[in-house]
Structure formats: C-alpha cells, structure tokens
Amino acid sequence: MFASLLVTFVAEVEEIHEVVSSLLLSLEREESAETRRRQYNEVARHIHNLKGTSGTLGLDDLSHLMHALEDIFGPHVKGGNKLAPDVATTVLFGFDTFLRRLREHTAGAPPASGVDDTIAAMRAKVEAKPEAEAPAADADADDKAGERVTGWRVRASDVGDVARDVERLRELRFRTEQRIHQLDALAHTLQGAAHRVVRRSVLDLRRGLVTDRDEAANLVASFEHSIKAICTLPVRTIAAPWERMVRDLCRKTNKRVKLSVVGGDVALDRRLLESLRSPLLHLVRNAVDHGIELPAERERLGKHSEGAVVVRFETRGNVLAVEVSDDGGGIDVDRVRQEALRRGLASEAALSALTNEQALRLVFHAGLSTRREVTETSGRGVGLDVVRAEVAALRGHLDVTSVPREGSRFLLTLASGLGSSASLLVRVGDQRLAVPMHAIECVVRAPAPPSLSEGSLGTIEHVGAPVPIWDLGAMLALREARAPSRGDPILVLAPHGHPVAIAVDEVSSDVDLVTHPLPTELAEVDAYDGAATGSSGELILVLRPAWLTRIEPAVVEAPIRRALVVDDSMTARALHRTVLEAAGYRVHTAPGADHALELARRTAYDVIVCDVAMSGIDGIELTRRFRAEPLNGSTPVVLVSALDDDIVRRRATAAGASAFLTKRECAGGKLLTTIEAMAPRPEEPS
C-alpha cells in the first residue's frame, strides 16, 4: 500500500515540478504586479502542500527540505517584487533535489547525500531579505490554483484495441460506399417500365445504405474524438522543461533569449510525445547555442538584444508539423561546404554545384559541425545527425531553411499516430497512390502542348508564373518520363511558396485514410509516409509531400542499379519494390509477363523478381522466354512462390531461375540477402 502511494506521489510531484519551474522563470521577468502576486502565492502553496504530504507519508527528510525552502522563499512572497535570478536558481535546485530524493525513496535506494548539506548550500546561496509586504492574494484564485484533476488509468493495449475497432468501422463505411456505387450502376441498367418496381426497390435500398454510411461516419468521428481524449496529452507537457533549459544555457553563454511555444494545447499520443522529447530539446538547445548571437552583436546588427526562439505545433488530419525557428545569425552555408569537403562528404565540384538550400541539408550528416571551438554544449560533431535519425525512427521528415542574419527554421513532419487524414487518391499506370490533401494547393488540367522547360516535361501557368511539370510515374521509377497529354490531371503543391507540378494519369476521389508506418526495415524509403487500407482491402501507399517537392540532384552520384518486379498482385509488387528501393535499386514493376518482356527489351536490369503463380503466362514460362533473349543470359532471376514445393523448385531451376524463394522467406528478409549475394553492390566512385 505504501509503495503504491509513493508511486502516485512521484507522479504528482513531477507535475508540480513542471508547474513551479514555469512559475519561477516567469517571476524573474513578470511586469504585472497582480500576476506576480498570484504566481508567488501559487509557488508558496505548492511548497507548503509538499511539506505536509511528505510528513504524512513519513518522509521526514523531504518535509524538512520543504520547510527550509519555505523559509527561503517566504520573504520574497511578502515582498512581491521580481524574483532575483539567484533566488530562482536556489528554489529550482531545492525542487530538483526533492524530486530526486523522492525517486530514491520509491526505488528503495539510499540517498546520494544528506538533506542538511543541501539546505546549508541553499541558505549560503541566498540570504532572503524581507521587503514591503504585498497585499494578500485573492482566495478564489488560490483555490483554483490548488485544484487537481483525477484521471482514469487506461492500459495502452486496451486503447490500441479500440483504435483497431474504429479502423474496422471505417473500412465498413468504405465498403458501404462501394455498395452504393454498385447500386447506382444497377439502377442505371434498370431503365424502362418493365423494371420500374425493381428499380424503385434498388433506390430504396440505396437510400438506406446512404443513411447507414452517414451514421457510420459519425460514429468513426465520435470514436476518434474519444480515443484522442483518453490517450493524448497536450504538447506543453514536454515543453515545460525547455524554458528552464534555455534559462540555464543563457546564464552559461551570457545570451538573452525568449522562448515561445505556439500550439501548446495540441494533443498528441503520449508515446509519440515521449519520443519527441529528445529531438525537440536538441533543436531548441541548438537554436540558442548556435543560432542566437550575444546581446552586443545583436544590437550592432540593429536587432533587439533579446533573441527569440519559437516552437510551433500544428496538426493537419493525422499529420503533425513542428517548427523550431530562431531570429539569430543563420547557418553559414560556406562554412558548411568547407566542413563537408574537409570530411570527404563530396567533391569540391559537387559541393560547388549545390544550391544553398541543398548545401544546408549537409548539416544532417554525422560528424559535421560548423563550430570552431568545443564547448560544453557544442562543437563535437554530434548533433543534428542524431536528431534526423530520431525523427526517421518515427517515420518523420526533417528539413531546414536559413537566411543569413535573419535566422534558421527546422521543420519536422510526421504522422501523429491517431485519427484519419484527408487524402487524394491518384493513379499512375496500374498503381493507386494517396497524396495528403493538406499538401495539395490545387488540381489543374494539362495544356496542349505544354511549354518546354529544361529538365522537366514542360511548364504550366500558376499564379502568373511558369511552374515545371514532373511525371510521378518517372519519379517513382515505374516508367520512363513522359509529358502529360492535353487534359491530364496535374497536382500543384506549393511548399514554402515554391510551387511544383506533378503529373498523374488519373485522380479518382478524396478519402479519409489512416496512415500506418511501413516496417522498420523500410523506414528509410523517402517516397512514402506509410500505407493505408482501401475500401476493398487493398494496400494504398501514401506519398510523402516533402519527397514530392524535393526535385534535386543527389550530393554524390552513385551507380544506378535497376530491378524489375513482376507480379499480378499490386500489393506484392509494392512490397517487393519498397524493399529494393530501400537497398538503393531503381525499380520498375510489371503486372504480367507481356509487359515485363517489353520492359526487358528496352532496359538492362541487374535483377528480376517474379511471382510463380501469375494468371496467363506464369513466372516459370516468363523466365524461360526471358532466358531465350541473347542479352539476358546472365541477369539474375528470383522466382517467388507461395508454396515450398520441390517439383516447382526443380521446374524453376530448369527454366533458368537463379534463385527460388517462398513468400514466407521474402517476408523474413531473405529476398534482399539473396539478391545481394547474386548481384553485389557496385563500388562507389572515389
């Protein structure tokens, strides 16, 4: 019983610690006497309550510590002036010590030091001098400040079960939508007097289904709202310690910085919040230490002596965007190039050819630091590469922009983990894909003929300016680039005010999709945010907007390895392609043997992966025909079968297959290791 009380007390003190830290930092700068008076009394109330609760639980050392802190802080409450930095530091130290010792009690570990030593150190640091007594605090305001909210304890697995049920309900709604379309088609065929009664029945059934669909949609929205309320927390819960960290860092570096958090009430999955804690803390620290100049330098440049760091949270559907910006000196791009050259990341010619925007992204490489001196917080070359790796582990994307003397901006985007997001379904060849709606500015039709543009497939006019057109099929290596025909749909995306036009074969509909992350081994595939399930249970890959809008050459050109995936299952093609793309292959796909043979005549492939049991010409016959071509004798061919059958295996070998794998083996990761053994990675250019 006592142990469980201690665990509950620890959780309570952790919350109080964050609240008091924020109040003390505010008291250092608060100009309003009324607000300051309320904050002083709120801190004093927390100190008094912790002293009493510690005594009740028999934690005499902690009660003694809070009693001493009450003596130190009390005279300043009566004075009511701004809190001196030394006093704030001492009180913060007292709360830090209280929380640390409470955790030691809970774990049954002996305390690291005696409480009397801590109290003596605090008293030596601050000699509280009483000042004029302030008016008594408003009792009602104090009562509200002392209120606490009791919450339900909910297991994460239970919440996950409910979330999966909501997804099943959403899929049911999609299937209902599909049935409605089928009834529309049936009603259209039942024209004429002979079918009037049947047609009326069909239309009545359709109306009922529409009502059911709408009710299911309302239930999905209601469930999603409830789940979010149960298992989310506002982002301010991880932002609370940042202000303390900024304050301490400013005291070390003699800088002045104001930290602002915009969107602190945005609610996110608790597990996601915990994962974001480290990368965002690092970005905030980086903004203060690297970005903001010393006060004298800022004044010389005509800036306010106090720098500004802003962390902004925004959600769009189930996509989260976090921006960390500062108004400091910006990133020295020339210095970045010099460091990249010194570390051999690319040749001097390749670095010179990069635009400033492209060169900025080199800061995410391991070991690259623009700091000339090593300090406690910077200059060791361990930094933004770690942040990028942590963001990538969350299936997110990190980007950077910077303007000399005006500051830098880091933008993190990732799936928030809960709820659905509006997406536009598009088609390229036989591949259906989803593009998040928040990234699309508009959909236009291609002119004929499009204006010619070097490097792209023409241009379209958008907001009075020409915008280059790119073919999504070619970007995904599904086909050779081809210019859009008159009337073909073109998606216009405009990140950061720079529009990009992406040509697709067809735009079908906009739907609400839940994006699931790809498997861990595929997390580095830049093109996709994840995958969703369509109304018929099919896999729909969700494109990453940041990838769609980043059309640029690579820093270091490597030899291109090409692979061809042949399967009449779209899902299997997508999964094999994703595995190979993650390994650096440029992958083409074909739904059948005829298409595959046509592609093989036009393109030299380093490996071919083919399903055995395809309709029409199967994989074994395709392998035999492929081997009959004189130029294809040495190209590795991997045949994949749902069954581990010795007879089929022998037939595959006789037809010329280089390897035979079961789908279970492919799912276990053997596909890539088999291919790499047959087609070793070519040497990188020196």
- Three-state DSSP class for 97? helix
- Sequence-separated contacts (24+) of 69-75 with Cβ below 8 Å: 69/94, 69/95, 69/122, 70/44, 71/128, 72/122, 72/123, 72/126, 72/128, 73/43, 73/44, 73/47, 73/128, 74/44, 74/128, 75/128, 75/129, 75/130, 75/131
Task: Please state the rounded mean pLDDT for residues 466-473.
Answer: 87
Query: What angle (nearest 5°) sits at the alpha carbon of residue 525, between those of residues 608 and 389?
Result: 140
Report which DSSP code applies to 451.
B
Give the mean pLDDT of 177-197: 75
What pLDDT score was predicted for residue 513?
78
SS3 state at 115: helix
Instruction: Give every CB contact of residue 69 below 8 A, 6+ residues apart in sequence.
Output: 47, 91, 94, 95, 122
Angle between helices 619-628 and 593-602 (to 10 degrees): 30
Residue 1, class by beta-carbon neighbours within 10 Å (0-12 exposed, 13-18 middle, 19+ buried)? exposed
pLDDT tens, residue by residue, 228-249? 666 677 888 788 778 888 888 8
pLDDT computed for residue 103 by the predictor: 86
Q: Which residues of 339-376 are buried (b: 16+ CB within 10 A; e: fewer)?
A: bbeeeebbeeebbeebeebbbbbbbbbeebbbbeeeee
Tokens 């040509």 label which residue? 503
Would you say residue 149 has pLDDT above 50?
no
Residue 264 confidence (pLDDT): 84
Sorted by sequence, the CB contacts under 8 Å of residue 358 that are 6+ apart come out as: 552, 553, 555
| pLDDT band for position 623 (cuts 50, 70, 90) | very high
> Average of pLDDT values for 479-497?
81
For all residues of the chain together, what is the average pLDDT? 77
Q: Which of 302-306, 315-319, 488-492 has the least mean pLDDT?
A: 315-319
pLDDT single digits (tens) 537-590: 678 888 888 788 775 433 334 456 888 999 887 767 877 877 787 677 888 888
Residue 654: what pLDDT?
Answer: 92
Residues counted in the chain: 686
Q: Is the peptide bond between 75 and the residue preceding it cis, with omega within 30 degrees of 0?
A: no
pLDDT at 44 over 90: no
Instruction: Identify the weakest region by mean pLDDT among 122-136, 241-255, 408-422.
Output: 122-136
582-619 pLDDT, tens per residue? 677 888 888 888 888 888 887 788 899 999 988 788 99
Mean pLDDT over 486-510 rounds to 83
More confident residue, 376 or 515: 515
Tokens in use for 644? 């581990």
Q: Is residue 194 over pLDDT 60?
A: yes
Stretch among 199-213, 239-253, 308-322, 543-557 having the lowest mean pLDDT: 543-557
Burial (CB count within 10 angstroms: exposed 0-12, middle 13-18, buried 19+), residue 225: exposed
> Among positive and negative, which fits the CA dihedral 484, 487, 489, 494?
positive
Across the range 157-174, mean pLDDT stands at 68
Which pLDDT does position 373 carry in this prediction? 52
pLDDT tens for residues 335-362? 888 888 887 877 888 888 888 888 888 8
What does the DSSP 8-state code read for residue 67?
Answer: H
State how far the Cα of 163 lies from the Cα of 165, in Å rounded to an integer: 5
